[in-house]
Amino acid sequence: MFTGKLHKRAAGYCQALSLQLLLCVVPTLKGNVLNGIDSLVQSSFKPLAGLRIGLITNHSGQARNGKTTIDLLHAAPNLKLVRLFSPEHGIRGTAEGKIDDGIDRKTGLKIHSLYGATRKPSPGFLKDIDALVFDIQDIGCRFYTYISTMGNCMEAAQLAKCKFFVLDRVNPIGGIIVEGPLLDGKQTFTGYHKIPVRHGMTTGELARLFRQERFTDLDLVVIPIRNWKRQQLFGATGLRWTNPSPNIRNLPAAILYPGVGLLEFTNLSVGRGTKRPFELVGAPYINAGDFAAVLKQAHLPGIDFVPASFTPMASKFAGQRCGGVRILLTDHHARTVDLGITMALALRKLYREKWQVVHLDKLLVHPESANAILAGQPLKEIRAYWQADLAAFAKRRASVLIY
């Protein structure tokens, strides 16, 4: 029988978990959003008429009715689909590590991997192509590599003097919240452009920004989304959810990724190898109760923590029992970069000798913030380091927004 504080704690846990389940299971009012591929189909592929096409896509490139962009373009009578290019995780979105070239069984087209020997289409593969078409679902985070693939392909298209089309897709975590520091370091494949960790833009809008700031000679065309409003998260679109990559398995994981993902190059499990990647965080050296208690003290709006233990079956700490927390989103509009910084501060406070921080800045790419975390500065002070840059980014961003 529960009594006193224990009873209140159990009741609070049940209430938070019930709300989490409600947010995940009960759908938001369904919308009638059409992504760029749907707009293209409705136009009878007119923007691509007469062109020889190279398509950059994966399993997430599909129309509202579930037909793949590959099949739709291959069957279109007024264009010619010449070859395919695939990003990280491959054309079917299930692979890990480097990806080899392959053949699409249904169309017989060659698939050139952009996450293997090369990460950019070679000039030879663009000689017989008039336009590159990009159709991949992003999730709104700077270090999610699909937007880096897009940027690399834009560069290749500009050099080859071929057109570049983006079949735009909704930002599943919304187009309003912009948070976190701007890239402040060398460009990498997980840090392609000087944008915040959570950018609040669609792929089409990012392409417009890249063109404006890097590829001014590129002939860019964005096929727009219809009926989408910036405040809409994925659940309000009426579109079917497809895991954009193996460990982003639902909308809560996508929302949490910009914060939780920041820490995955430290010695911390972010839930890979479990049924709840990016919803579980832990390590063998963590005491679940202590960690949850410190995190709760931060009072992050829309986020709660439940002590948890788990054993990843793959990835970091595979086969080892980890103490940690399950993160509960009680509001899908929560600011999750704040969550990542808060977890880092808690780890630094509790496990200074055991939490390894040598790669803390790998995805954050903001040395001033990383040093502030190591010094134990409060979240409010760390956020202050970003504000001037975010204000400047707001002006850059405003000039390319479509919706």
Question: So what's the pLDDT on residue 30?
Answer: 66
Please give the chain's pLDDT, 403 residues, in tens: 333 433 444 444 444 443 343 333 333 346 899 999 999 999 999 999 999 999 999 999 999 999 999 999 999 999 999 999 999 987 876 777 888 888 998 899 999 999 988 899 999 999 999 999 999 999 999 999 999 999 999 999 999 999 999 999 999 999 999 999 999 999 999 999 999 999 999 999 999 999 999 999 999 999 999 999 999 999 999 999 999 999 999 999 999 999 999 999 999 999 999 999 999 999 999 999 999 999 999 999 999 999 999 999 999 999 999 999 999 999 999 999 999 999 999 999 999 999 999 999 999 999 999 999 999 999 999 999 999 999 999 999 999 999 9
d(CA 307, CA 294): 11
**pTM (two decimals):** 0.91
Q: CA dist 395 to 201, 390, 400, Å?
A: 13, 9, 9
Identify the bridge partners of residue 141 per DSSP, sorted by sequence position.
198
- Residue 212, phi then psi, degrees to nearest 5: -65, -35
Report which secondary-structure segment, H or E, holds 147.
Answer: helix 146-160
Question: So what's the pLDDT on residue 93?
Answer: 67
Q: Are 98 and 90 in contact (CB under 8 A)?
A: no
Question: So what's the pLDDT on residue 96?
Answer: 76
Q: Is the dihedral of CA 44, 49, 50, 51 positive or negative?
A: negative
What tokens appear for 253 in the block?
């994981």
Hey, what amino acid is at 5? K
What domains are defined for the chain? 36-236 (3.40.50.12170), 245-365 (3.90.1150.140)
